[in-house]
Amino acid sequence: MGNNLLQGKKGIIFGALDDQSIAWKVAERCVEEGAEIVLTNAPVALRFGGIHELGEKLNAKVIAADATSNEDLENLMDQSMETFGGKMDFILHSIGMSLNVRKKREYNDINYDWMHKTFDISAMSFHRVMQMAMKKDAMNEWGSILALTYIAAQRVFPDYNEMAESKSLLESFARSFGYHWAKAKKVRVNTISQSPTMTTAGSGVKGFEEFFSYSDKMSPLGNASAGACADYCVSLFSDLTRYVTMQNLYHDGGFSNMGMAPEILNLK
């Protein structure tokens, strides 16, 4: 049912856990559009998710990699290039986890060691991936690198806690490394700022359902689904978007530019 938009393209997809994951949907859509992919996630995630089944279904190799480990990432790049028989065209980074949230520390009672770990996992991993890919000369010209983010990088959602800072960091890495990738290989780097999504990860956050519903009302088109996000990723991996780089792209049904929705005030 695809349009062969990614025919002949190869890429690595980080972060597919189960069939609720955005990365899972992206993997399916990329293959549907003709791409060849490698799936990766942290060793622990590989154990209890269904990623191996996804790999079989999509004829995709699954390679374990802790995205906070340079060694794992080096191995991932080496093995992926061997699998692909050469360089790749796209990378999706969909990784995020907050230790302070998980351990229920409030924003004004942060454990800073945990904050460092949160940043390492959720943001610096993106820099690590890009740095390793550059050192390995792993990207074809005009390739596309994407990471998933959230508007908490720009606006305050109190319960999002230190993930706000993680996403600010992630988006800054996209801009900064986007310059270097453009100059080196004409590769573009962007972030997609996605609606709150009913994933296994997302739904664990405090008050998530009320918040999901608030966001849905505030968004004139409603919240964007994981499937719609996968479609958008396809467009950004395709050759239709070669000159879009260093951008944070809202995929949110219009949420980001709403000041007040009458639906929230029950005015309409």
Q: Which residue among 97, 134, 198, 201 contacts a copy of itself (CB under 8 A)?
A: 134
208 touching a copy of itself, by CB under 8 A: no
Of the two residues 21 and 238, which places its CB atom closer to a copy of itself in the complex?
238
Among 80, 98, 149, 245, binds a copy of itself (CB under 8 A): 245
- The residue with tokens 């949110």 is 252
Instruction: Give the torsion sign (CA, 118, 46, 207, 126).
Output: positive
Instruction: Choose which of 3, 43, 44, 82 interacts with a copy of itself (CB under 8 A).
Output: 3
Residue 55 backbone dihedrals phi, psi, to 5 degrees: -60, -45
**Spatial contact of 26 and 229, defined as CB atoms under 8 Å apart:** yes
Pick the closer one to a copy of itself by CB: 46 or 72. Answer: 72
Can you tell me the distance from the alpha carbon of 174 to that of 193, in angstroms, rounded to the nearest whole number? 12
Question: Any bridge partners for residue 62, and if so which?
Answer: 39
Interface residue with a copy of itself, options 43, 116, 137, 204 (CB under 8 A): 116
**Between 41 and 245, CB nearer to a copy of itself:** 245
Contacting residue, 178, 197, 205, 226, with a copy of itself by CB under 8 A: 178
**Residue 81 CB, nearest approach to a copy of itself (Å):** 18
For a copy of itself, the closer of residues 88 and 192 by Cβ is 192
Specify the residue, 94 or 245, whose C-beta has the smaller distance to a copy of itself.
245
x/- contact string, 28-57, with a copy of itself (CB under 8 A)? ------------------------------
- Our finding on whether 171 is near a copy of itself (CB under 8 A) is yes
Question: What type of residue sits at position 151?
Answer: I
